[in-house]
Structure 1
Amino acid sequence: MSKEAQILTECSHCHQPLLERIEGRDPSKVYCCYGCKVVDELMDLDASLIDHSAIDAGPWRYLDEASIRAKLCKFEDEQQARIAIHLPAIHCSSCIYLLENLAAIEKGILSVQVHFSKKEADIRFRKDLIQLSEIAAILDHIGYKPDFKTHLGESRKGRNKLLMQLGVAGFFFGNTMLLALPEYLDGSLQYDPELQSFFRYLMMAFSLPVVLFSAKDYFSTAWKSLRAGALSIDLPIALGIVVLFSRSAYEVIAQVGSGYFDSLTALVFFLLIGKWYQAKTYRNFSFDRDLRSFLPLAANRLMEDGSEKPVGIDELEEGDRIRIRQGEVLPADSIVLDQDSRWDYSYLSGESLPVQKEAGAKIYAGARLLGKSTLLEVQSSVDHSYLSSLWSQDAFKEEASTKKSRTLSDRVSQYFTPAILIVALVSGLIWWQIDSAKAVLVFTSVLIVACPCALALAEPFTAGSMMRWFGRFGFFLKNNTVLQRLPELNQVVFDKTGTLTRTDSIEVQWHGDQLLFEDQWAVATIALNAQHPLAKVLLGHLQIEEADASQVLQFEEASGEGVGARVRASYYRLGKASFLGLSDEANTTAVYLEKDAKVLGYFSFYQQTRDALDQIAADLSDKYSLSLLSGDNAAEERRFRQILGSKVDLQFNCSPHQKLEYLQALQSKGQKVLMLGDGLNDAGALQQSEVGISLCEKDISFFPASDALLMADAFPKLHRFLALSRMYKPIVYRAFALSLLYNLVGLSVAVAGYLSPVFAAILMPISSVTVVVYSSLYTAWKARKVLA
């Protein structure tokens, strides 16, 4: 490959494929990210790495407020502070090199440590030399825009606890196995009773942290299930651990054997690996989210002297005046005070086109401002906004949630646990009549050999393996109970805007006789004067640079309806069909054009649908009923009827509450609903559905509360993901069958009195490994076959 070809396809520094093209100061070089650009220029001894005159810390000034900074910083005293900042743009070694060397080129930053897998930078800085807002601005300037909301209020306590439990179990499992080797390999220790006794007591001591710390969640869950009158899979596991430890401790204290501490620690270690394996797939995603996850941390409040002061959104009160700038999200329901503001409601109401608002209009929290800055007056606090009422619905309350479901293991355990207890008791009583000493051995062996460790591992390892394969192809599930609900679904409900349509492009088509250039020029000239959001879209479509706004005479605009103006010798009118007194012929949003009282045709506007949408709908309709809910008007009903088919139920002009009520109506008829959406307006419906899936383009930190996350480029494989999910239960059931077969054979031998607790304990991890290997390999084979 030639050097010129490489420059077009590869980064000049790291040689990774170019996903984003960034030009360097050297015309012959191009980079995949700003990290590579700055590092490469640093290697060329470029002295001016950061141009401070080009850095604007204004948008980040709210970070300097003490109340906000206190929530974000891990440590803070009078001189120094330390903060962990999520930087989603980190993607290669150059990013790490650049960020970790910021301390050398930026005064005030003491140290930077990058955690690549977490896309996180731990920064320590001098408060008297640099402000947090300045650090954020520098990071943004060099291409690493910080995401502070990812860490605000986030708790890693549960994840750290599991890792600690796993680490403790693994450490003592390895050491206990080493201490147990002499017991299995030879009998040399029997000639040194004191050393043998010391080793046995040491193994018992090593098992205590495993039982009391690593396995304590099994005891806690088992106790809670008993109190609730249920038998979870954790109950027989906890019982097996207790029996195994008690029997082992008895043998050591009574000096009649070495116990089974190695098998005990191995059992707990393998069980915790199953938990970790399952959690690893979705640990980087926060599925439980509320309105605050999408609002800014602060807003600019106008003071009495006319100055602006950034304050936390919780401090906003009714009557406060705030200024919102382009691209910012409104934190509370407010009244517009300035003229002609434009707002993006797509993530709020589902309306695909921007909305024009005049002074005095009410704007709801969650809307994003387009265009110039706007002054507003707060009408309600953040917690009393219109959208916050969605989170007061029953769909968001855990006690009323329809999504609680027992795992397959729990369902099996309600029969397995009492059956094992009955078998152990009956066997013990029968042998008590024959040989009381052997009765204790049989009772203990039955409980140990039938300990459902393999049964417990079958589901998490199958779920973890399947979820990891889902993740490789862009589908991330919240937990394994979502896998259980997926095969039960019979209804799929789509949001339209941003879900079935692409948010990055609006397609414009002309319908009518060929439009002369002079008419195109006139339309572009009028569009330059118009305030309607479609005017800019139309300008982009026509691409006439010669248009001159000053050539328009007698310009009149009816807000939201249309415009009229004289251009040169002709009078033009553009707008809705009703504005021109016509019947609407378009099956989408349309702007009709009239010249000198003669209709020339119309421009149609619609967002492009996702690739192969008609085929996706056809694949899904084989097994599911389909519905579409949209906050848009019904202009595109005919178009989506053609794409999705005549059997699909189409609902337009739906508010967020109406979407939720629609799903409730379906569920009252016995339907099991999958909801696929992408915005806050879908949050209630996503929670109400049996399975709610958030569709995400690129920024995975910006999606509503859901059960699963589907990357946009993986959308065409939705029917394949659902098909693979239907294989989940059969795979688990086969794994259960293997486990039960092992238990059946082991129980038969144990009840007959031919199986000692030693061999029973040895068989336990063997059966577990067999089930784990089967579950993982068979799931991987099926996943490759279905998804690849």
Structure 2
Amino acid sequence: MSACFHCGDECRTTVISHQDKTFCCHGCKTVFDILNDNDLSYYYDLERTPGTTPLEQEGKFDFLENEQIVAKLLEFDEQDTQVVSLLIPSIHCSSCIWVLENLNKLNPAVKTAQVNFPKKTVRITYSSEILSLQDLVILLSRIGYEPYISLDDASEKKSNIDRSLIYKLGLAGFAFGNIMFLSFPEYFEVNEFWLEKFKHVFRWLMFCFALPVAFYSGRDYFISAYKGLRSNILNIDVPIAIGISVLFIRSTVEIIMDWGSGFFDSMAGLVFFLLLGKFFQQKTYAFLSFERDYKSYFPIAVTRLVKNETNDSSIKKEEQTQVYELKKGDRILIRNSELLPVDAILIKGNALIDYSFVTGEAEPVNKVSGDQLFAGGRQQAGVIEVEVLKPVEQSYLTQLWSNVIFSKNKQSAFENITDSISRRFTVSLLVIAILATIVWMFIDISIALNVFTAVLIVACPCAIALAAPFTLGNLLRIFGRHKLYLKNSSVIEQLAHIDTVVFDKTGTLTTSVKNTITYEGVALNDEEKALLTSTLRASNHPLSRSLYAILDKNNIQTLDNFKEEVGQGITGVINNRKIKVGSFGFVDASHKKTQEDAHQRTAVHISTDNIYKGCYVFYNEYREGVKEVFDTLKKTTGIVILSGDNDGEKEHLSTLLPKNTTILFNQKPEDKLDYIKTLQDNGKNVLMIGDGLNDAGALAQSNVGISISENVNVFSPACDGILDASKFKEITQFLNLSRKGIKVIKYAFIFSLFYNLIGLGFAITGNLAPVVAAILMPLSSISIVVFTTIGTHILGRRFNESK
């Protein structure tokens, strides 16, 4: 009976021949045609018979024609773009991930698809004009990935445990223990009853235990190595796959030829410890994910409106609230350029929402009172008041931060330490194996092949594969505890290579909490004061927030019009009265006041109806520990200050900075970006630290971009990390901890090399006995795990003591 080419099931009732292949049903044949016609036949190279049998589905998804049901399932629905997360129980291997993330080749209406393998979900962004949710679900079902849709889970997603890794780990551990037990007689050379009578039985039992370890537990390493080689990449899984293959093949040959018991115990131990490392890594990231979801991974606060303690219920006071404390029905303010962290209903104000963070579409959408607004949108037209529809889902913000739109070239251009070492390791390993074999061909040709395989066996980089995940995972958790929240562990490696630090000034070096502010000019009347306060209320610039905090907040009104020119100023209109607030040139360039006088101090200038009124002068308060940070940084990195403000504080700032520090004022956002690009063109690795508002371009361009957060909702997905403002003075310690973390990984590699050299000594001399390999290989893996765990624990304790 023939097997189906696509799903592997036996063709019991129907046999369909097509293109010299056999299919069990028209569904499997259709899937094959879809993949083949769209140049996706590589799907079948990843795994033999990877598909699953598509079930009968006619009419099964008719309920998705109901718009109310669809609305409950969608995460986002705006600008003809819909986003949905679907549970796919049949996801089971890398080929599943590959075909699901290439859905856009099956249907161009699909924009992106991201698979979460541990949770067996796929998050799909698609054009609702071309493709409906029902059509999308049917498409998935046709290719063997029918979603499980439960409306009970529409609002509360249940976590799904990936048990395949547990099964593989359990099987490898079971086989490892039994093979070791069966190998004891030969380890200790018991030449009596047990070895004489049962050695062949024991050896073939070991072979039977080794089969599922090699072909089930270890198959992911073969798939990864194959994909890497197809892409001309020598990843860490290539030497691992070589090691597993050589161990299995040589051991099988030794048993068949009755030369010995082989190295099945070492092979099973190798796979077991590799999977154990992967399991611990998965548990570590699951713990970090828990922190992200429920412990305010992003230190974002929003302005919540609460009833004032007066008899007038219409008067509400403003308070800063952590986003995870928001509840359904809460009223919150969203200022200009603020990110909307929740799904909400627009109550008051002019909403112009930019959803480019979600969809990549830069065209903003106008909304009116009563319209629904989706999390992830950024307000672009002043202040709005909204009512929360459902509590914030930090996991959604995590997805936004990891959106493919913000996957920068710097990530793909950076080679992590494991890939760098593994490439050199693989080449060195093959060279040593070939040279040793050539030498032995002149000494004793019968031993040459054994030497070649022995080198490949004993030098398998199990320990190298474990060092970085354990170290970086632990460091990521330490950073989070000290309020530096990084996008992923690869950012730690990039921080370790930083040689130039670029700072924004306002909102980064200075704090908006403490400022001395004085007014100079014509006194404002009550109407102008109300207009000024209402306009400042809509802005998120640090100077606007500082000034708004000290003004009388009575008679605040909703603006008829609001516009902010980044780096210049803001314009507000109420009842045809216009106010401009910002730089002197922006407010009234034609005024006779001299430019020299205007630029001597940090000031916010004001004009109403095109008549210059005066300015509020700011005397900035710098953050605690700024000078100490600069003094420590100058020892290891270059320092640059890029400020959008005038040079009024240049003299004072120069006293805080090391000599010959580059200080540039009047820098527009595009100027900052271009300057960082110039530094990178000159071979510099740049860390940009800004306020996340005007510095988004510079943060994105830099090798690492960190946004300072001071209880303000200015989260930018363009950054790589968010630092709580209270931890500013610990910047140098974070950089040092990153460098020390990389040293731990390198020490672990050296430690691993020590074991490899011992093993190579046995292998090259032709004396690698199974018992030696069985001791060395597991011991190296265990010692690396212990070493990295203790090393990062010591670093974390020293970090606490240095504070």
Q: TM-score range by the shorter chain?
A: 0.5 to 0.7
Among 616, 623, 627, the residue aligned to 2:640:
627
Among 496, 512, 517, the residue aligned to 1:509:
517
Match of 1:749 in 2: 762
* 1:212 is aligned to 2:224: no
Cα distance in structure 2, aligned partners of 1:539 and 1:301: 23
Among 397, 406, 410, the residue aligned to 2:422:
410
* 1:473 is aligned to 2:489: no
- TM-score, normalised relative to structure 2: 0.56
Match of 2:674 in 1: 661
Alignment of 1:437-476 (within 5 A): 438-476=447-485
* 1:771 is aligned to 2:784: yes
SS of 2:783's partner is helix
Distance 1:439 1:589, change over 3 A: same
Quick check: 1:176–1:203 contact (8 Å CA) kept in 2?
A: no
Among 239, 260, 263, the residue aligned to 2:263:
260
Quick check: 2:686–2:703 contact (8 Å CA) kept in 1?
A: yes
Alignment of 1:225-624 (within 5 A): 225-227=228-230, 231-254=234-257, 257-275=260-278, 277=280, 284=289, 322-323=367-368, 366-367=379-380, 369-371=382-384, 396-397=408-409, 402-404=413-415, 407-426=419-438, 428-430=440-442, 432-433=444-445, 436=446, 438-477=447-486, 481-496=490-505, 498-502=507-511, 505=513, 507-510=515-518, 527-528=529-530, 530=532, 533-534=535-536, 541=550, 559-560=579-580, 581=593, 583-584=597-598, 587-590=601-604, 603-605=616-618, 609-624=622-637
Cα distance in structure 1, aligned partners of 2:486 and 2:756: 32
Gaps of 5+ in 1: 1-59, 77-121, 136-145, 303-310, 333-364, 374-389, 548-554, 563-574, 594-598
**Cα deviations across residues 647-694 of structure 1 (Å, max 9, x unaligned)?**
444445555544332211111222221122453654443343222334
Distance 1:576 1:199, change over 3 A: farther
**Cα deviations across residues 424-465 of structure 1 (Å, max 9, x unaligned)?**
4235524534xx2x5554443333223233344344444444
Quick check: 2:500–2:685 contact (8 Å CA) kept in 1?
A: yes
Distance 1:448 1:556, change over 3 A: closer
TM-superposed CA distance for 1:241, in Å, is: 1.0
Residue type of the partner of 2:483? G
**Cα deviations across residues 254-308 of structure 1 (Å, max 9, x unaligned)?**
5654443332222123224444555665653699xxxx99678989899xxxxxx
Cα distance in structure 2, aligned partners of 1:750 and 1:740: 15
Cα distance in structure 2, aligned partners of 1:419 and 1:632: 59
Gaps of 5+ in 2: 1-67, 89-147, 298-336, 348-354, 387-402, 538-544, 557-574, 608-612
Residue type of the partner of 2:754? L
Distance 1:731 1:458, change over 3 A: same
Cα distance in structure 2, aligned partners of 1:188 and 1:368: 87
TM-superposed CA distance for 1:177, in Å, is: 0.5
Alignment of 1:626-645 (within 5 A): 626-630=639-643, 640-641=653-654, 643-644=656-657
Quick check: 1:491–1:673 contact (8 Å CA) kept in 2?
A: yes
Match of 2:572 in 1: none
Aligned-pair Cα RMSD in Å: 5.6
SS of 2:598's partner is coil
TM-superposed CA distance for 1:491, in Å, is: 1.0
Cα distance in structure 2, aligned partners of 1:511 and 1:699: 25
Residue type of the partner of 1:264? M
Quick check: 2:266–2:773 contact (8 Å CA) kept in 1?
A: no
Cα distance in structure 1, aligned partners of 2:448 and 2:219: 30
Moved more, 179-188 or 491-500: 179-188
Quick check: 2:429–2:459 contact (8 Å CA) kept in 1?
A: no
Cα distance in structure 2, aligned partners of 1:264 and 1:749: 17
SS of 1:560's partner is strand
Distance 1:182 1:405, change over 3 A: closer
TM-superposed CA distance for 1:471, in Å, is: 3.7
Distance 1:299 1:659, change over 3 A: farther
SS of 2:580's partner is coil
Quick check: 1:402–1:690 contact (8 Å CA) kept in 2?
A: no
Residue type of the partner of 2:777? M
**Cα deviations across residues 34-81 of structure 1 (Å, max 9, x unaligned)?**
xxxxxxxxxxxxxxxxxxxxxxxxxx99955979588557589xxxxx
Cα distance in structure 2, aligned partners of 1:578 and 1:720: 49
SS of 1:247's partner is helix
Cα distance in structure 1, aligned partners of 2:269 and 2:422: 22
**Cα deviations across residues 522-573 of structure 1 (Å, max 9, x unaligned)?**
87786246466359966753669999xxxxxxx99762169xxxxxxxxxxx
Distance 1:713 1:546, change over 3 A: closer
Percent identity over the alignment?
A: 33
Distance 1:301 1:620, change over 3 A: closer
Residue type of the partner of 2:501? V
Cα distance in structure 1, aligned partners of 2:69 and 2:230: 52
Match of 1:355 in 2: none
**Cα deviations across residues 594-619 of structure 1 (Å, max 9, x unaligned)?**
xxxxx9x9743477654323322332
Quick check: 1:231–1:417 contact (8 Å CA) kept in 2?
A: no
TM-superposed CA distance for 1:767, in Å, is: 2.4
Distance 1:678 1:558, change over 3 A: closer
Quick check: 2:73–2:151 contact (8 Å CA) kept in 1?
A: no
TM-superposed CA distance for 1:766, in Å, is: 1.3
Quick check: 2:644–2:665 contact (8 Å CA) kept in 1?
A: yes
Cα distance in structure 2, aligned partners of 1:166 and 1:759: 28
TM-superposed CA distance for 1:715, in Å, is: 3.0
